[in-house]
Amino acid sequence: MRKLSMTWMLAAMLVATSCGNSTQQNDEPQPEQQEPVSQIEQVQQPTVQRAAFLPTQNTPDFVDAAENSVNAVVHIMTKVVRQSTTYNDFFGALLGQLYGYPGQTRNNTMVAYGSGVVLTPDGYIVTNNHVVDGADEVEVTFNNKVKRTATIIGTDPTTDLALIKVDASDLDYLVFGDSDQVRIGEWVLAVGNPFNLTSTVTAGIVSAKARNLSILGEGTSVESFIQTDAAVNPGNSGGALVNTKGELVGINAAIASHTGSYEGYSFAIPSNIVRKVVDDLLLYGTTQRGYLGVQIAELTQELAEKEGLENIEGVYVAEVTEGGAAKMAGLKAGDVITNINGKKVNSTTQLRENVGQYRPGDQVDVEVNRHGSHHHYTLTLLNEAGNVDVVKSGDSFYNAEFGLMLQSVNQNEMNRLNIRNGLKIVEIREGRFMNSGVPVDFVITKVNGYAVSNKTDLENALKNNRSRRTTIEGVYPNGMMGSFFY
């Protein structure tokens, strides 16, 4: 305002000076003059605005995305019933060990909570595996307070995902977005039920992608989380991560915390992995995992210098598996994978995420850097057994040496028996086990010291046996451990 006042003051002085000059005296006769006229132009006062942040077209609007999401995100309560066995005397314990007869039992019920995302109007819901892991009862509560009992369709511990189903129709649901298109710095919403507070929405940005936390174990696990700073707390697990369009771009799964509560970063499973796993569980009851057939390592500066590489870009192939997809296509140890189906890969995590979106039998274009020269190879992905056969949940196979029909144990049964792997006996035929006293439903966990989970594991355990006898370890249906040999 001070500058504005001086402007008006200067204008007034100029007008006064002009009037003074027009009245000067002169001795010569002057013609009759009219009264001098001073013309003053009116100066328009500028509009004054208070300092403020003006709205722009780029300001994110979360209202529509939040409204579309809260009705499609559900609250999940699970109950896990555990039986504990007690024996009154030595002979009762001995009989239990010999024959698997339980003594007195009592039930202990544990209750847990989480979130889930409705994917279809007829009640298919995705959540985390750890939300429903080992659950005997699953109850779903919708945003309108309606409750439904859910059944578990399938689980995949390697990605921490599970698919459940309720009997319903015309449900609100979310559509998948493309997680590959999610960009660092992009706004996202986390929707879930933290601390049992239903229908809670928080906002943040994508802080990083392809983050590996090493929380799902080694082996075939796929960890490539989207990292955000949207507030996520216990109870948010299985909830939605959505973009500003209201599309599902991730399933919230974990937080980085020293206290168990939110401390700045949360992690979600990318929607492209979720979509593929859900389809697998729906169609086959188990995940179909495709393999390149390579042992990979992070490409570091030291490794790049050792291999004579100018750029530290890609994933190093340390070994090519005999009979694997990569070997048959022409890849070699020492190659650096830089691209899969047109998508750059610069870490082992990115590579696993990319390949994890495909099934055995799918063809992928793999670009490799071989000593500075780039080559393209077309690979047909294979399953763990080295073929393109579809693996279905509950598929059984016959082992002639044992005379047994065997079946891989599902995750729920492994949780109940407190084991990490196993083959369940579903039928006993003529053979070594006919008069062994081992019952149907006995779960074989180890053969000759090797853990077994499928047909290939069992065949390898028998083939690698250098002893004259075969050792079997396992667990009875009631949870008692047992071992024997022949």
Tens of pLDDT along 197-250? 888 999 999 999 999 988 876 566 788 999 999 999 999 999 999 999 999 999
Q: Give per-residue burial for 464-486: e unless 16+ CB within 10 Å, then b.
A: eeeeeebbbbbbbbebbebeeee
- Measure the CA–CA gap between 458 and 399, rounded to whole angstroms: 9
DSSP output for 130-178: HHHTT-SEEEEE-TTS-EEE-EEEEEETTTTEEEEE-S-SS----PBP-
Percent of the chain with pLDDT over 70: 81
- CB 225 within 8 Å of CB 254: yes
- Measure the CA–CA gap between 118 and 70, rounded to whole angstroms: 10
pLDDT for res 485? 78
* 396-485 fold: Pdz3 Domain (2.30.42)
pLDDT for res 431? 75
- CB 391 within 8 Å of CB 382: no
| Helix, coil or strand: residue 328 | helix
Mean local confidence (pLDDT), 343-349? 94
- CB 187 within 8 Å of CB 244: yes
Helix (H) or strand (E) holding 274: helix 271-284
- Residue 317: band (very low, low, confident or very high) from pLDDT cuts 50, 70, 90: very high
pLDDT for res 113? 95
Q: Which residues pair with 190 in a beta bridge?
A: 202, 241
List pLDDT tens digits, range 257-314: 888 899 899 999 999 999 999 999 999 888 898 999 999 999 999 999 988 888 899 9
User: Of 163 and 18, which is predicted with more confidence?
Assistant: 163
User: Cβ of 49: how many Cβ atoms within 10 Å?
Assistant: 7
- Measure the CA–CA gap between 212 and 197, rounded to whole angstroms: 29
Flag whether pLDDT at 17 surpasses 80.
Answer: no
pLDDT for res 58? 62
User: Of 428 and 364, which is predicted with more confidence?
Assistant: 364
DSSP output for 65-96: HHHHHHTTEEEEEEEEEEEEEE-SSHHHHHHH
- Measure the CA–CA gap between 278 and 299, rounded to whole angstroms: 32
Topology match between the domains 68-165 and 179-274: yes
Per the structure block, which two tokens stand in for 267? 């992690």
- Measure the CA–CA gap between 191 and 251, rounded to whole angstroms: 10
Flag whether pLDDT at 176 surpasses 60.
Answer: yes
Mean local confidence (pLDDT), 78-92? 61
Nearest-5° Cα angle at 233, 227 to 239: 70
- Measure the CA–CA gap between 210 and 264, rounded to whole angstroms: 18
Catalytic (active-site) positions = 130, 160, 237
- Residue 38: band (very low, low, confident or very high) from pLDDT cuts 50, 70, 90: very low
Helix (H) or strand (E) holding 280: helix 271-284
pTM (predicted TM-score): 0.72
Mean local confidence (pLDDT), 395-424? 83
Mean local confidence (pLDDT), 328-340? 96
- Measure the CA–CA gap between 127 and 129, rounded to whole angstroms: 7
Backbone angles phi, psi at 261, to 5 degrees: -115, 170
Percent of the chain with pLDDT over 90: 51
pLDDT for res 195? 92
- Residue 383: band (very low, low, confident or very high) from pLDDT cuts 50, 70, 90: confident
Flag whether pLDDT at 2 surpasses 70.
Answer: no
Flag whether pLDDT at 13 surpasses 90.
Answer: no
- Measure the CA–CA gap between 473 and 452, rounded to whole angstroms: 10
Q: Which residues contact 73 (CB under 8 A, 6 or more apart)?
A: 115, 116, 117, 118, 143, 174, 191, 192, 193, 199, 239, 240
- Residue 5: band (very low, low, confident or very high) from pLDDT cuts 50, 70, 90: very low
Domain ranges of the chain: 68-165, 179-274, 294-380, 396-485
Mean local confidence (pLDDT), 87-92? 49
- Measure the CA–CA gap between 200 and 232, rounded to whole angstroms: 10
Cα 381 to chain centroid, rounded:
22
Mean local confidence (pLDDT), 93-98? 50
Q: Which residues contact 197 (CB under 8 A, 6 or more apart)?
A: 235
- CB 382 within 8 Å of CB 289: no
Flag whether pLDDT at 57 surpasses 80.
Answer: no
List pLDDT tens digits, range 116-135: 999 999 999 999 999 998 78
* 179-274 fold: Thrombin, subunit H (2.40.10)
CATH superfamily of 294-380: PDZ domain (2.30.42.10)
- Residue 41: band (very low, low, confident or very high) from pLDDT cuts 50, 70, 90: very low
Cα 236 to chain centroid, rounded:
13
Q: Which residue has the tokens 């002009």?
A: 18
Strands 343-344 and 336-340: antiparallel
**Lowest pLDDT segment from 8-22, 77-91, 402-416:** 8-22
User: Of 52 and 348, which is predicted with more confidence?
Assistant: 348
What mean pLDDT is reported for the chain? 83
Per the structure block, which two tokens stand in for 385? 């057994």
Q: Which CATH architecture has domain 68-165?
A: Beta Barrel (2.40)
